[in-house]
Chains A and B, each alone.
Chain A
């Protein structure tokens, strides 16, 4: 395993306890070049800031399963949010036709993500976090779509930011299979909004603190 997988960091039991990882070190110059395009891409996503991959990657989490459980619980909270959001939207979004079908599919995918993450956390000997209460402020289809785009883009960036901290290759592969689905959702929602479905060549990534900031307004 790489050095980064060997460093110790405490598990992150839930969103409220996320750490702001602010260490740096290692070969910054190399990574800066590798990620130049990615870092430049942030503007395309508006409010979604691009976080410093490199510091985060090199200050990664624990090599123990505790670390992975923390990351999985963090992901679970996001999936709770998305799952609840789309479940509600089946009636609240006032959608018709293709969009109504899309919402049904998204709700189903996110629910499967929730179930899979809960089961995997248990398999790893952890305890899945409880589902928080959410409050989604929208009154019409346009309002729904705007929030959906924020959530899907944030989901992609959250997984992309957290994945390099995952110790288990199996968990990493599985997180990868989820993030690709989130990216596909994001593109579909962006098409619905008449926006560029893949606005940049490199999807930005977010660290936990940034994700928390993005979803905090929707925690009731």
Chain B
């Protein structure tokens, strides 16, 4: 997944000296912008500049509510996916146990995000109707890997957009768990546990939503 390079604040770029500075700092700060471009971050929508209203998550609500509902939609997808996989009968034993455990954790994310949206006075996003291709254990494992790596990148892509420290803390607590899930699936698939190297790359909402679109049927 290649996150789109979006808005970059020139002043911050100048302050941090990216472009003229050391390669390591540029790489570090570019890590959240995806790739080796001089763009530092793909997620610098600043509430102070009124940028939250233009954010890609706005279709789910304004500001943090939109981000929480966006996350909730993704967690609904993951929960439904694992539930379908459990029902499919493709997995048994230890593998089935892992799938159940991950599915339970995604369901906990759904519950927490739903509660958070309500606490903030918002309306939780509806559960989407989903359909996943469940043809073989191998294909399902690959899809699980894609979904978890995407989920981790999706949270990372929103971290800097979140205004409330409490919401940020919650999102981070979920984000690293998605990273753990992704690493387990990558291990099973025999791919790198850290496919982006030492710095994980984010994905913006547009990229993520486009990726999951094929699985939403209503």
Residue numbers of A with Cβ under 8 A of B are: 1-2, 4, 27, 30-31, 33-38, 41, 53-54, 57-58, 60, 65, 105, 108-110, 112-113, 115-120, 122-124, 156, 159-160, 163-165, 168-174, 176-188, 191, 196-198, 200-205
Partner of A109 from the list B12, B108, B173, B194 (CB cut-off 8 Å) is B194
Among A57, A65, A181, A186, the residue within 8 A (CB) of B200 is: A181
B25, A170: Cβ atoms closer than 8 Å = no
Contact A176-B159, Cβ < 8 Å, known A120-B29, A160-B169, A170-B32: yes
- Interface of chain A, helix or strand or loop or mixed? helix
B: which residues have CB within 8 A of A?
12, 15-18, 21-25, 27-29, 31-33, 40-41, 43-44, 46-48, 101-102, 104-106, 108-109, 111-112, 115-116, 119-120, 152, 156, 159-160, 163-170, 172-177, 179-184, 186-187, 192-194, 196-202
Across the interface, B152 reaches (CB within 8 A) one of A41, A168, A180, namely A180
Tell me how far the C-beta of B143 lies from the nearest C-beta in chain A, rounded to whole angstroms: 18
Q: In the complex, are the beta carbons of A164 and B172 less than 8 A apart? A: yes
A-B interface pairs (CB < 8 A), number: 253
Q: Is the CB of A34 within 8 A of B166?
A: yes
Partner of A34, one of B167, B193, B196: B167
Q: List 7 A-B contacts (CB under 8 A).
A: A118-B24, A120-B16, A171-B29, A176-B202, A198-B184, A201-B104, A203-B180
Provide the bound-state CA to CA distance between A140 and B40, in Å.
42
CB pair A105 B177 closer than 8 Å? no
Cα of A58 to Cα of B168 in the assembled complex, Å: 12
Q: Which residue of B lies closest to A54 (CB)?
A: B166
Q: List, in ascending order, chain B residues with CB within 8 A of A30's CB.
A: 119-120, 166
Query: CB distance A120 to B25 under 8 Å?
Result: yes
- CB pair B119–A200 under 8 Å, yes or no, is no
A113 touches B198 (CB 8 A): yes
Residues of A with C-beta under 8 A to B168: 57, 163-164
Which one of A54, A108, A170, A183 contacts B180 once the chains associate, using CB atoms below 8 Å?
A: A183
